[in-house]
Amino acid sequence: MLHTADAAVQLATRRKRTGNGWNTPFIGKNRNTIAPGEAPPPVDAIYPMAFLVEKDAGAVVKPHFHIADQYQVVIQGGGSLGKHAIGTVAVHYTDAYSAYGPIIADDRGVSWFTLRNTWDWGAQYMPEHRATLREARAKIAHREATCGPLPPLSVGDLAALSKTSTEAVIEETEDGLGTWRYTVPAGGSVTGPEPSTGGGQYWLVSAGSACVPDGELLSPQSLVFVGPDEAASVMKAGPGGADLICMQFPKRARD
């Protein structure tokens, strides 16, 4: 289950205006794009869902939770998530049924990717759904993991790279949750973590360009999803080098 989505293509063809910003589907369907009457994927199956949220200056998203594990990756602008300041590139992970927020955009607005590996029907807002959250906590504990901001390398810094570097920016846990940053010189390649150790991986092209084997070159802010049944992903940097972030979901029983 390998999926790629080029940012230039997605933004040119799928970007839609919302009440206080924009939303662009990248990989999979979500509650806004699934057809009326269409059955959603089973919630206990691996199903990648990825979309870009762009919020106008001052926009507010109320505290809420989701029924799916989730990464949020801030790629532009800034503001706050709960008590934490956010900037580019900040990575925020929450287990299913972990409430967070509010998300408040500063005067630049804020843009982030929402990345999931299973189906989700959308936000469950607080305090209206507090009883549901309390019931779920009996099985799934609250967990958050964050890193960043990790400013993308500039064109000049990418051009100056002479070797590939690897950094664990969220240390891998026993159940496979982890995040790594790779910087790769022009034409170089890197092999990511073994996907079977977790519940699937998203790769973000933070700067430069890169491609999977036999794939087209992906522009900045593009995504790749690698399922847990796939071989370890090889990412090859384009002619200007690549700054890459690999985010792996935890491996959990699908019950």
Condensed to tens digits (0 to 9), the pLDDT of residues 17-41 reads 999 999 999 999 988 899 999 999 9
Query: In this predicted structure, what is the pLDDT of residue 130?
Result: 86
140-175 burial, b at 16+ Cβ within 10 Å, e below that, comes to eeebebbbbebebbeeeebeebeebeeeebbebeee
Query: In this predicted structure, what is the pLDDT of residue 120?
Result: 93
For the entire predicted model, the pTM comes to: 0.94
Query: In this predicted structure, what is the pLDDT of residue 255?
Result: 42
For the chain, what are the domain ranges?
2-147, 155-248
Q: Which two tokens stand for residue 230?
A: 């796939």
Domain 2-147 has CATH 1.10.10.10: no
Query: In this predicted structure, what is the pLDDT of residue 253?
Result: 58
* The domains spanning 2-147 and 155-248 adopt the same CATH topology: yes
Low-confidence ranges of the chain (pLDDT < 50): 254-255
Distance of alpha carbon 85 from alpha carbon 90, whole angstroms: 9
Distance of alpha carbon 52 from alpha carbon 22, whole angstroms: 8
Query: In this predicted structure, what is the pLDDT of residue 189?
Result: 97
Query: In this predicted structure, what is the pLDDT of residue 69?
Result: 95
Query: In this predicted structure, what is the pLDDT of residue 137?
Result: 80
Superfamily classification of domain 155-248: Jelly Rolls (2.60.120.10)
Query: In this predicted structure, what is the pLDDT of residue 127?
Result: 84
